[in-house]
Structure 1
Amino acid sequence: ASLADCEGLVLNCHGKGKKFAVVLYTETEEGKKRHGYISEFSTPETGYCTRRVPFSAFTRLRRPGAVEDDVPPLNLENVTDIGFRYRSAWNDGDNNFTLRVDWVKAQMQTVHPDMILVSYAGEKRAGEAHLRNSGLGYTIVRTPELNTNPGFSSPLVFFPKGEGVEAATTTSAADVADVCIRCLHSGEVCNKTFSLRNVNEDNDGFELVASIPSDKTDYVSTAVKRIDKNT
């Protein structure tokens, strides 16, 4: 089957707190050689959970004694099998496990986000994780506390996930609102997490992407272009 139009897998399972891995298998066009690719995921102690596994997270599954060149990069055009793997080494040497899989589906590539989450005054781990694992196209915007300053009264800086917000005190609510509206129409922000904060005018440690934001200036897409997807 071809999964070339998909970004990853979304699965619902019950693993009793153990760590597992999804394994994809592909074959060459001649069908003479089979290759494997693996990505690990964890489960909670109780209840079913939904896990999003992007194809970018899969690494080559090498057989003992094989060299790196023996396994080509993942070819989504010819995926033949999907399986699960358990290793005691991932679970403190425990050989006992149970994995119940309710469903697995392919996550189609999304042009625009279905939902934008503003993690106000810092990250909201539970809410962010729930959105990432929902299967929806998302954008997560992390901000410090908001103020009522006019929009664009001071430069706005974009940071990758986990950076930036700690150093700020407040950020303009008008700036955050403008970013969120522009995210609805941007193809660059889907499935990305980033932080926002205002900086002083004399701070020259950042790259300028737009001097005067307007309807014709897509500064958000330019600012987040280098941020990795599925963050």
Structure 2
Amino acid sequence: MIVLNRPEALNAVNGALSTAVGTALDELDADPHLRVGIITGAGRAFCAGADLKALAAGQSFLSPTHPEWGFAGVVEHFVSKPLIAAVNGPALGGGTEIVLACDLAVISSQASLGLPEVTRGLIAGAGGLLRLPDQIPPKVASEAILTGLPIAPETALRWGLVNLVAEPDDVVPEALRIAQRIAANAPLAVTASKRIMAHRRDFGSDWNRQIWHANNADLEAIMRTQDAQEGPTAFAEKRAPRWTGS
């Protein structure tokens, strides 16, 4: 569980927060006992975006030690484990861009998303312009980006931008429920599945031979694992599989 913990600033992102979150993501990736990460916010907000007071003072919102991680230490920081956004409150601007960088999302019925940057003379440069048109219909994304209007939870669900709308007190428990379902699966198969999905556009069309070579190489590697033998064996023996991650 990774908590954006600047409630007094509605969890607005500064350099220190970017460093802390990016470091936590590295720990998630490196620890074989951790299978899924959940990102949520402390207090009444998920994330209000960049810390504008820090920007006005000439400070960067990027990690001073790892600027390559991007905004909030998340948006340019690929990790092999699945990430779930537990959107407990407003997630505007960069907050929405954190959600877009996650693999799944649960949102509070009292929260909202949105990319209002154009209303402030800015652009959604932390992945909003790149990811939103891929995650919802392009014309719908254009409306959200070019008007800057907020996106209500039910609208986000209808567009497929989130997986579930929950009551405020149920957001983290629902995210944990999804995480537990993922963590019950074979870890190498989960990370390989995420990796293939993440790189599916690297070679253009899904008819491109290179993407099939990459897909088949991962498939062959998975088929050689002990877990790939354990899954069918457990099914045949009518018992729960015992994954070893090998």
> TM-score range with shorter-chain normalisation?
under 0.3
Is the strand fraction higher in 1 or 2?
1
Is the helix fraction higher in 1 or 2?
2
Give the structure-2-normalised TM-score.
0.21
Between Structure 1 and Structure 2, whose CA radius of gyration is higher? 1
More contact order relative to length (CA 8 Å, sep ≥ 6): 1
Give the structure-1-normalised TM-score.
0.22
